[in-house]
Chain A
């Protein structure tokens, strides 16, 4: 693979590699050029996704650049015209032999108890290139055996060969330089700063790239040996970035995910949440049998019974109140095939259009499908400008953050951030426009407006705006990463801002929606008013005639509207497809009233959640690694998901559940397998035309971006209207505008049911700027009275410099202070007052 990290690779030249003339590119490293031509040069420290450092000297080969052959490290040497390289000469072999003997001087050789044993580059290369025996009989260097450097990673310094891969990763790639070499010479070791753990969201990657077993991950430690593991390649569904992973299992239990280098997506990296969420696949509390409520309690039931009673509920609701009395929420956890099957069941069989895969925390589907789209590669392409108008990518879309970070630091991409609080990208942004909550559109307007006006907008000063305008004016395409920065404010401002930004010439958008396959769910019709293939009800009706029994006549409700209707008693039956509104809907009070207001809830889920435990029928679903199919990431890239293990108990895949429910309602969905569904998608969904063939014939596993016919022509985009934004109340010195974002580790299923991660959520607290905090006269972590429009609660308060003056931050779905309790979804913006418990108000 070409070196992606540093210099531009241009021009052709010819070198002699082991006697054959081969081509190389100008600026290409010798080790990479050799690899491209099938000559493997052993190495430890070189990694194609990081800058070379020449630490280990293992890649030494004999090179003649005209002054006679010399030994040179091939990872530090750029190819030059006429270079003569011999990777197999006696001199090279002797050098390799010697390097390995040196590397092993202090190596403890505890291969039998080392997690890397069996897949260890040091073992392999010693076998292939090393000496049979060591001449060193002196005692080895000793260190305390594994020391924790974070909650997830252990370090065994005895095994470390000082290759600088982990430390380089932490500094260069992740931007968390928390591990370093310390001491000198024979005492050099990798370590953290005292009392400062390697708390990086990406620490698991260092375990994967460590060429020895010096770094081990607690969730996998001693669970298996490499030769026990069987693996398939799949796509992570923990968030919508869709990183490629190898799912490895032993004895029908998933034991590890390993990042796969997918050039357009994750470059081999994974975030720790995605990497270690495998534990939740095996959780003890997984639902393994259907539950039916009898006598007020959920009791285990047979599938036939559960399906029959769910169908009966649906049928009687249909007969008595019509399809509009049924709502279906969820679907972002599903595969594309299951999403299509559920869309067909809900819209084509039940005939309701009250279907929404998003839980009031995303963007309207018409906006997602109505703006020209950009891929991750297009966003990160050198020379452009990226506007991030959305969530903190480091927290919500971690590997997208890595790609953006790389683009800014290495490829000269100019990054403008429009956000209500500082984020993980602020430090490297060209312009970080931190604005007052609810004034996003003002900032967007000022950004596209005339330069030199010298006025502030939305709390952002004119100088920063000027820098941002200059960045856009510097030329190149403009790519917008669009999402919800805060769920405590109406989405209308975000939509308005997006439509303002779309007026900049050559602008396209990457939708920073959060949940796993939310994009696939939207594409395949799990959204009100839409049908599979990114078309409206009217636009798609003709397509589906003959395939679907019926198609809803008029657009239905989204999740917020459904829950409101449910709370008012207008919705009789609610189907939750892997959704937990009590935990995930921004307004918990409304969710609670809605779930209490419907007659029956039917839930399919992998775990019993707060919402599904209120259901009348709970159907256990097979989850990640237990089903095969395809998934769509945030750029619209469809890639293959693979099954590696069997689901617990009698849990079944979601498409089969939809099929069974339809059959019980007297309709045959017409699917016998996942392939059947994919074939139907390829013909029924206009945007997915030809998908099945494209996936089958694609030579790599990177997946394909739909629609396949190149960039969407502007006229095929859905139209959306910019909602009229609600007028904002003027800012008062005594009120704080609430900003609610998410942390990577929250109380969601993936973290909650993965023992290694359960301690990682930060916990909820109200976060204030130092200025607002000081006015309260309390200490860090003290309880304060938080007065929201709907309720008053007590919550801990902390200082957070990322939060600007006049705003208050709260994380979503954390213990301690749950932001969803404070939010009133009907208000355009949640405004709080905070008082210290000894009677002092903030500024009052």
Chain B
């Protein structure tokens, strides 16, 4: 009869308040996103329109899911794609494999690859799941491409920002509250995250306002 004790656990939990948050409540607005949510990637540009990616394959090398495929090529001297000798000629991320760990973002020496908070995408074919360079690259204004199978709505431009870096360089606490990288990430520039104390005080840790 020992199994009844197991059922007792289940039975007790039925009456607890669920800790899971409903994501879409009915047809209403989406639930607020955590500040550090890891969504799909974008490939960023510099303000002059040059691509940041230099095709170094460090992101591909570090990716634990091995879902990135990069190939570099010589920059055409007359019409360079990125600053320097080399640019990312092929860039693909397979979202059937990506675990959104952001190690690629950490590895990138030029902040070319970042993750947005856009995660509402559901594709019906393998080919759609593999985002090509064309699909990942932001436009001249820094706005990612809105792909047909992605759900984003007016006013959600903010979530296209790549500002998701969770850790300061090498976890150094003295970097807290400082933007450890350039200011023009993704679409628009945002103020840095507050430091630990101020976040604790406002009780807003983990929630975007």
Contact: B61 with A227, CB < 8 Å? yes
The proximity string for A residues 141-171 relative to B, scoring 1 for CB distances below 8 Å and 0 otherwise, is 0000110000000000000000000000000
In Å, the complex CA distance between A227 and B84 comes to 22
Q: In this assembly, does B109 line the interface, its C-beta being within 8 Å of a C-beta of chain A?
A: yes
Which single residue of chain A is at the shortest CB-CB distance from B110?
A: A112
The interface residues of chain A lying within 8 Å CB-to-CB of B73 are 222
In Å, the complex CA distance between A222 and B87 comes to 9
In Å, the complex CA distance between A227 and B73 comes to 17
B16 to chain A, nearest CB (A): 48
Which single residue of chain B is at the shortest CB-CB distance from A251?
A: B69
In Å, the complex CA distance between A146 and B85 comes to 9
The interface residues of chain B lying within 8 Å CB-to-CB of A221 are 74
Q: In this assembly, does A117 line the interface, its C-beta being within 8 Å of a C-beta of chain B?
A: yes
Q: In this assembly, does A225 line the interface, its C-beta being within 8 Å of a C-beta of chain B?
A: yes
Contact: B109 with A112, CB < 8 Å? yes
Q: In this assembly, does A127 line the interface, its C-beta being within 8 Å of a C-beta of chain B?
A: no
In Å, the complex CA distance between A110 and B72 comes to 14
> Which residues of A in the span 216-255 have a Cβ within 8 Å of any Cβ on B?
221-225, 227-228
The proximity string for A residues 102-117 relative to B, scoring 1 for CB distances below 8 Å and 0 otherwise, is 0000000010110001
Contact: A113 with B57, CB < 8 Å? no
Contact: A222 with B74, CB < 8 Å? yes
Contact: B54 with A113, CB < 8 Å? yes
Contact: B57 with A225, CB < 8 Å? yes
> Which residues of A in the span 472-492 have a Cβ within 8 Å of any Cβ on B?
none
Contact: B86 with A222, CB < 8 Å? yes
The interface residues of chain B lying within 8 Å CB-to-CB of A225 are 56-57, 61
Question: Which of A110, A113, A223, A228 has the most CB atoms of chain B within a 10 A radius of its CB?
Answer: A113
Q: State whether A228 and B85 are in contact (beta carbons under 8 Å apart), knowing that A222-B73, A222-B74 are contacts in the complex.
A: no
Which single residue of chain A is at the shortest CB-CB distance from B61?
A: A227
In Å, the complex CA distance between A175 and B171 comes to 53
The interface residues of chain A lying within 8 Å CB-to-CB of B55 are 113, 222
Contact: B58 with A112, CB < 8 Å? yes
A154 to chain B, nearest CB (A): 10
In Å, the complex CA distance between A228 and B56 comes to 12
> Which residues of A in the span 112-131 have a Cβ within 8 Å of any Cβ on B?
112-113, 117-118
Q: State whether A228 and B84 are in contact (beta carbons under 8 Å apart), knowing that A112-B109, A222-B74 are contacts in the complex.
A: no
Contact: B54 with A112, CB < 8 Å? yes
Q: State whether A145 and B85 are in contact (beta carbons under 8 Å apart), knowing that A112-B58, A221-B74 are contacts in the complex.
A: yes
> Which residues of B in the span 86-117 have a Cβ within 8 Å of any Cβ on A?
86, 109-110
The interface residues of chain A lying within 8 Å CB-to-CB of B110 are 112
User: Which of B60, B61, B71, B86 sits near A113, CB closer than 8 Å?
Assistant: B86
B50 to chain A, nearest CB (A): 14
The interface residues of chain B lying within 8 Å CB-to-CB of A228 are 57, 60
Which single residue of chain B is at the shortest CB-CB distance from A110?
A: B84
The interface residues of chain B lying within 8 Å CB-to-CB of A224 are 57, 71
Contact: A113 with B74, CB < 8 Å? no
A18 to chain B, nearest CB (A): 33
In Å, the complex CA distance between A118 and B107 comes to 14
Which single residue of chain A is at the shortest CB-CB distance from B72?
A: A222
In Å, the complex CA distance between A154 and B110 comes to 25
B98 to chain A, nearest CB (A): 19
Question: Which of B60, B71, B85 has the most CB atoms of chain A within a 10 A radius of its CB?
Answer: B85
Which single residue of chain A is at the shortest CB-CB distance from B57?
A: A225
> Which residues of B in the span 27-86 have a Cβ within 8 Å of any Cβ on A?
54-58, 60-61, 71-74, 84-86
Which single residue of chain A is at the shortest CB-CB distance from B73?
A: A222
A714 to chain B, nearest CB (A): 58
A179 to chain B, nearest CB (A): 21
In Å, the complex CA distance between A117 and B71 comes to 15
Question: Which of A110, A118, A221, A222 has the most CB atoms of chain B within a 10 A radius of its CB?
Answer: A222
In Å, the complex CA distance between A459 and B105 comes to 74
Which single residue of chain A is at the shortest CB-CB distance from B77?
A: A145
The interface residues of chain B lying within 8 Å CB-to-CB of A146 are 85
B36 to chain A, nearest CB (A): 26
B65 to chain A, nearest CB (A): 15
In Å, the complex CA distance between A113 and B57 comes to 9
Given contacts A113-B86, A225-B61, 11 further A-B pairs with CB under 8 A are A110-B84, A112-B54, A113-B56, A145-B84, A221-B74, A222-B74, A222-B85, A222-B86, A224-B57, A224-B71, A227-B57
Query: What are 24 of the A-B contact pairs (CB < 8 Å)?
Result: A110-B84, A112-B54, A112-B56, A112-B58, A112-B110, A113-B55, A113-B56, A113-B72, A113-B85, A113-B86, A145-B85, A146-B85, A222-B55, A222-B71, A222-B72, A222-B73, A222-B74, A222-B86, A223-B71, A224-B71, A225-B56, A225-B61, A227-B57, A228-B57
A binding-site residues for B, Cβ under 8 Å: 110, 112-113, 117-118, 145-146, 221-225, 227-228
Across the A-B interface, give the 8 residue pairs with the lowest CB-CB distance, nearest first.
A112-B56, A222-B72, A113-B86, A225-B57, A112-B109, A227-B61, A113-B54, A222-B86
